[in-house]
């Protein structure tokens, strides 16, 4: 049986045919749409490396069945930058050394974008750390990650417009 669904991925409508309902959103992105930015770490919802925005909200794409998401909008790390212009969260991760090996970074950045959109953390580093606890970093770049999120959020809010992109 073939399952037909439509997803909007990084702003582009995609008609998708699945021959198997077991395909997760993560596997769809990586194996069938060629979007390998979202990473498969644990594949069990524990590490956050697969984080994408689904209808504007961050989720673990490894724990979502693609067939169930007909009509949804998906934003991945590949859809963040506009042409050559990095998203403020991407730029802040570079400036604050928010990574070392980089494997968890797409998930960290998508999670940070989601966190800033949610708007519950404010400028409190403790709330940022709590809000980012679903993203593990084996290199231990957490200090830089927290600084990057706070900085990117301040720029998004127009607090630091002089440096904003």
Look at the chain and count its residues: 165
Contact pattern from residue 117 through residue 146 relative to another protein, giving x for each residue in contact according to CB under 8 A and a dash for the rest: -x-x---x-xx-xxxxxxx-----------
Question: Binding mask 96-115 vs another protein (x if CB under 8 A, - otherwise)?
Answer: ---------------x--xx
Indicate the residue among 51 and 90 with the shorter CB distance to another protein.
51
Q: How far is the CB of 161 from another protein (least distance, A)?
A: 27
Crossing angle, helix 142-156 and helix 105-118, to 10 degrees?
40
Which residues, other chains included, contact 24 with Cβ-Cβ below 8 Å and sequence gap of 6+? Answer: 61, 62, 63, 64, 65, 66
User: Shortest gap between Cβ of 97 and another protein (angstroms)?
Assistant: 23
Closest CA to 38 of 88, 77, 69, 65: 77
Indicate which single residue of 14, 32, 36, 63 sits in contact with another protein (rule: CB under 8 A).
63
Plot region of 84 (φ>0 → left; ψ -120 to 50 → alpha; else → beta): alpha
Instruction: Please state the φ and ψ torsions of residue 28, each to the nearest 5 degrees.
Output: -60, -50
d(CA 102, CA 77): 13
Q: How far is the CB of 164 from another protein (least distance, A)?
A: 25
> Nearest 5°: phi and psi at 77?
-55, -30
Determine, following the binding rule CB under 8 A, whether residue 31 of this chain makes contact with another protein.
no
Q: Of residues 28, 33, 54, 92, which one binds another protein by CB under 8 A? A: 54
User: Total binding residues for another protein by CB under 8 A?
Assistant: 37
User: Around Cβ 117, how many Cβ atoms within 10 Å?
Assistant: 12
**Which lies closer to another protein via its Cβ, residue 103 or residue 142?**
142
| Residues in touch with another protein (CB under 8 A) | 3, 20-22, 24, 43-45, 48, 51, 54, 57-60, 62-65, 67-68, 70, 111, 114-115, 118, 120, 124, 126-127, 129-135
């Amino acid at each position: 049986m073939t399952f037909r669904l439509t997803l909007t991925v990084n702003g582009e409508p995609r008609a998708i045919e699945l021959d198997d309902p077991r395909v997760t959103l993560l596997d769809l992105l990586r194996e069938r749409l060629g979007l390998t930015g979202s990473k498969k770490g644990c594949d069990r919802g524990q590490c956050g490396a697969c984080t994408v925005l689904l209808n504007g909200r961050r989720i673990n794409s490894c724990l979502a069945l693609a067939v169930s998401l007909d009509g949804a909008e998906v934003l991945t790390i590949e859809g963040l930058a506009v042409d050559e212009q990095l998203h403020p969260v991407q730029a802040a991760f570079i400036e604050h050394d928010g990574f070392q090996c980089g494997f968890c970074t797409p998930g960290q950045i998508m999670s940070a974008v989601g966190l800033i959109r949610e708007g519950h953390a404010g400028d409190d580093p403790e709330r940022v750390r709590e809000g980012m606890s679903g993203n593990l970093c084996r290199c231990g770049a957490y200090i830089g990650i927290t600084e990057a999120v706070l900085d990117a959020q301040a720029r998004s809010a127009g607090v630091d417009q002089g440096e904003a992109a």
